[in-house]
Amino acid sequence: QVQLVQSGAEVKKPGASVKVSCKASGYTFTSYDINWVRQATGQGLEWMGWMNPNSGNTGYAQKFQGRVTMTRNTSISTAYMELSSLRSEDTAVYYCARGEYTTHGYYYMDVWGKGTTVTVSS
């Protein structure tokens, strides 16, 4: 079945970087975007950015520009999100989500990973 499997929980110190992976299966990896969305405990959803696995093109929310990098390895159908200069406010669950355009140009995220908990603490 179509699924996104994310890497395990991470604990990082302030100032460090974290790299979360998202492995796709059950569909053609390069045919759909991968988005990253995070959620701090008890808070709402925050969209971080987007990547086209076919071209490698990316787009990042302004808030994360300069700190986030989204990449992929098409040979293993895996997307990555790296966040640098971590601070305590980055403690959150990070989700990858498949993005798709309809024929009429509407975009939605229809398949989600289970999330990766990233804790930033000294």
Partner 1 sequence: DIQMTQSPSSLSASVGDRVTITCRASQSISSYLNWYQQKPGKAPKLLIYAASSLQSGVPSRFSGSGSGTDFTLTISSLQPEDFATYYCQQSYSTLLFTFGPGTKVDIK
Minimum distance of partner 1 from residue 87's CB (angstroms):
22
Piece of the chain touching partner 1 by CB under 8 A; list 16-24, 68-76, 84-92, 96-104: 96-104
Neighbour tally for 63: CB within 10 Å: 12
Contact set for partner 1, span 103-122 (CB under 8 A): 104, 106-110, 112-115
Contact set for partner 1, span 5-64 (CB under 8 A): 35, 37, 44-47, 49-50, 59-62
Report the DSSP pairing between strands 18-25 and 46-51: unpaired
Q: Which residue lies nearer to partner 1 by CB, 52 or 71?
A: 52
Q: Which residue lies nearer to partner 1 by CB, 13 or 104?
A: 104
